[in-house]
Amino acid sequence: MKVGITYDLRSEYLALGYSLEETAEFDKPDTVQAIENAIRELGHETDRIGRIRSLVVRLAEGSLWDMVFNIAEGLKGFGREAAVPALLDAYNIPYTFSDPMVLSLSLHKGMTKRVMRDMGIPTPDFAVIEGPQDIAGINLPYPLFAKPVAEGTGKGVTGASKITSRGQLGAVCRELLGKFNQPVLVETFLPGREFTVGIVGTGQDSAAVGVMEVLLRHEAEKDVYSYLNKENYEELVEYRLADDDEAARAAEVALSAWRGLGCRDGGRVDLRSDASGVPNFIEVNPLAGLNPAHSDLPILARLKGIPYNDLIRGIMESAEKRIPSEKTNNVR
């Protein structure tokens, strides 16, 4: 099988003038190399495609692949993660991970939480601030937590994200609105444990590969898994496998969210417990980072004794199982 690989290299965007924070979700060459090595170990031929503009050129030239391993995050808009899958759908080319609908929905944390609430999955009370005029209408009990509605890798999350007063709420929301040019999610701050649950598979075939607790060291920014803490995780964060009753409940909530949203093949669900120890859905990452050394999902797999290549194997097997054989016959 010929497998194309779509991705956004951080170095390419830095060379175009984008900042370190703007490119925080993009990949390093060693991530692409590790994925390629794992796919080749499965006996497949690989073809590096790169970012969406390269994919457009290759499609116009008539390139074909039996499947595309897609980790392209995109750059602009709520549909940025959905752009590559939408193009591949148009050309009837199968790909790993979730479809455009799921990727667009899950990127907007407010919309995702509305779906969770409708499904009866616990999630903190929240409001979405579309502009400064909405700030005065917030009527949630303090402390609160604020972050951009459609960013990942902790972008926009700092020590100031935990909010304890109306004055602070206004200042933080106005800063985030101006800096990220998108709505701000404001939700009830939960004081309990923080988990991330790794999932491999699709639908009823999906399973939690493990539950990892995120513990902030003394030197870290307090109470928040922030951009600074994530970027300096080796010094500021401890990752620990969790297998107690609370962690088991976190895995159940994560799987319910994963299946309810229609996520596919592999990713992560982030949760935090309330004061009573009940794990609440925070957000889902259906296009999780796959750097073998630094990304949360591979770290979790490593703590569970799952080699990186076996993690990629599980993702590929899930994609191959759900894709009907006739879909590998590309139609133009």
Tens digit of each residue's pLDDT (9 = 90 or more) over 179-207: 999 999 999 999 999 999 999 999 999 99
Same fold, 125-188 and 191-320: no
Give the percent of the chain with pLDDT over 90: 89
From 2.60.40.10, 3.40.50.20, 1.10.1760.20, 3.40.50.10420, which CATH number describes the 2-96 domain? 3.40.50.20
What are the pLDDT digits (tens) for 118-171? 999 999 999 999 999 999 999 999 999 999 999 987 899 999 999 999 999 999
Please report the pLDDT score of residue 5 as a whole number: 98
Q: State residue 217's pLDDT score.
A: 94
Task: Let me know: does 145 contact 189? Beta carbons within 8 Å.
Answer: yes
- Map residue 25 onto helix, strand or coil: coil
Residue 132 phi/psi, 5° resolution? -55, -25
Q: Are 176 and 148 in contact (CB under 8 A)?
A: yes
Q: Residue 324 has what pLDDT?
A: 76
Per residue, the 3-state secondary structure of 119-169, as one string, reads HCCCCCCEEEECCHHHHHHCCCCCCEEEEECCCCCCCCCCHHHEECCHHHH
For the segment 30-48, the average pLDDT, to the nearest whole number, is: 98
Please determine, for residue 325, whether its predicted confidence score (pLDDT) is greater than 60: no
Give yes or no for a contact between 83 and 68, defined as CB atoms under 8 angstroms apart.
no
Q: What's residue 99's pLDDT? A: 97
- What is the pLDDT at residue 327? 52
Nearest alpha carbon to residue 109 among 156, 168, 143: 156
User: Does residue 326 surpass a pLDDT of 60?
Assistant: no
CA angle, 49 then 67 then 31, to 5°: 50
Architecture of domain 191-320: 2-Layer Sandwich (3.30)
Q: 109: exposed, middle or buried (C-beta count within 10 Å: 0-12, 13-18, 19+)?
A: buried
* CATH code given to domain 125-188: 3.30.1490
**Cis-peptide into 143, omega within 30 deg:** yes
Mean pLDDT for the stretch of residues 30-44: 98
**Residues 44-74: pLDDT tens digits?**
999 999 999 999 999 999 999 999 999 999 9
Query: What's the pLDDT score for residue 331?
Result: 46
What is the rounded average pLDDT for all residues in the chain?
A: 95
Do residues 216 and 209 make contact, with C-beta atoms less than 8 angstroms apart? no
- Left, alpha or beta for 48 (phi > 0: left; psi -120 to 50: alpha)? beta
Altogether, the residues listed in the chain come to a count of: 332
Confidence of residue 332 (pLDDT cuts 50, 70, 90): very low
- Does residue 312 or residue 225 have the better pLDDT? 312
pTM of the model: 0.93
Identify whether the C-beta of residue 248 lies closer than 8 Å to the C-beta of residue 195: no
b/e per residue 39-53 (b: at least 16 CB within 10 A): beeeebebeebbbbe
pLDDT digits 0-9 by tens, 125-138: 999 999 999 999 99
- Measured CA to CA, the distance from residue 140 to residue 142 in angstroms comes to 7
Find residue 194's DSSP bridge partners.
272
